[in-house]
Structures are given as structure tokens and as C-alpha cells.
Amino acid sequence: MRRPFRTQIGGLVMVVGLTGLAQPAAADPIPTLRIVLQIPDHRHVPLNIVTRAADEVVRIYREAGVNIIWIDPRQSSGTGDPGFALVVVPGEMSGKLTVEGEAVAGDALGLAVGTREHRGRLAYVFYNRVERIARTRLNMSRQVERDDIYTLVVLAHAMAHEIGHLLLPYGHSATGLMRADWNAKDLRLAADGRLNFTSEQAELIRGGLLTRAAR
């Protein structure tokens, strides 16, 4: 049975440390990850925020030694197998999405479709939930002009997290970007560009992509 992975924001829980930024060895080849980026309803998802978040995802994966190429779904038919797809879901759709007949938890920021044994190729991120968390957890001073920046930060890391579930073994980690529940410190690290994959996770992602490319 396919079950979604959930990215949700927890309360103020114990503080955890992060492994340093992952960097590939100098001789290692740099794999490329191609992802179709889909936004079903542009009216309720600001394209400029998604575009900037996508650039931050590129930065996050570059730290892990992976190049990301985003593909417009309107152009994907001529590019061969794009590999993966990420859908940024508008608010009115997030409550209707089900996986194998099961509704997605109301506190989930996203999900990646797959099983314990077989990783999938499709992930979702829920824009309205990202926006709500950004405003309530990061924008403590209620500076309205900062809302878009905080939304961008949470959106980018939620996108990177869900893509990570398509590339890594089943489950979450105790530290870093792949934690199941991001606390206040994790979000502050994200805002500073320091919530990343661990070195071990980066190695697994690179190895998996290089193996796939060699087939």
C-alpha cells in the first residue's frame, strides 16, 4: 500500500545539531536531477514565489553535489523521461488530495508518493499550509513586508524535503532537512540557508542518481 511521507511543523522540541554542509569529493561526478514543476492553479499560487523557491531548491541540492534542472510541463514532452515531478498544490486542492483512498493529514506540508520498497517519482507541496506556517512561525514580528520571504523559505525547504523522499531510503532522519517535524530552530536555520541534507544523505542521493544514469 502506498503511503505518503509527511512534512509537518512541530512545536518547540529538543534542539538538534546539523551535520555540516555536504560537499562531493573533488573527483566525484556531479549528477543532474531533472524535475517537472507543475502548478495546477496559478491564481492562488504566486508564480514569482515558486520561481524564487525553485532557485533556492537548486542551491540546497547544489550543496549536496547535485544539479537540478527544472522543466516546464508544457515543454516536457520533447525532453524524454524527465525523471520526477513536483506539484505545488493550491489551497482549495490540498484538502481533496488522497493517496490510495487515504486523505492527507491536515498538518502535512507535502507528501511523496511511494512505498517502503519502491521510491516514487511524484511529490506534492501544499502552498496554503506553507504560507500559514511561514506567517505564524517565522514572522513573529508580523512585518507584513517580510511575509513573501518567509513563505519562500518554507516553500523551498518543503519542496527540497519532498524531493528528497523520492531519492532517499524510506523514512525521516533525526537531524537536518529530512526531519519529520521542523521546530522553531530548524525554521531559523532554513531562513539562514543552513537547513540542508546531511553528508550521508547527500552521498546516498548522488549515488542513486549516478546509478540510475548508468542504466
Please name each of the domains of the chain with its CATH number: 29-214 (3.40.390.10)
Q: Report the distance separating Cα 204 and Cα 178, nearest Å.
A: 13
Whole-number Å distance between alpha carbons of 148 and 48: 10
Q: How far apart are CA 148 and CA 210, in angstroms?
A: 36
CA–CA dist 124, 10 (Å, integer)? 20
Look at the chain and count its residues.
215
The most confident of 52-66, 86-100, 122-136, 171-185, by mean pLDDT: 52-66
pLDDT of residue 41: 78
pLDDT at 100 over 80: no
Lowest mean pLDDT among 1-10, 42-51, 70-79, 175-184: 1-10
What is the per-residue pLDDT for 130?
Answer: 93
Reported pTM: 0.82
Between these two residues, 29 and 57, which has the higher pLDDT value? 57
Mean pLDDT (whole number) for 16-36: 63
Q: Would the pLDDT of 67 be above 60?
A: yes
Helix-then-strand count for the chain, H and E: 6, 9
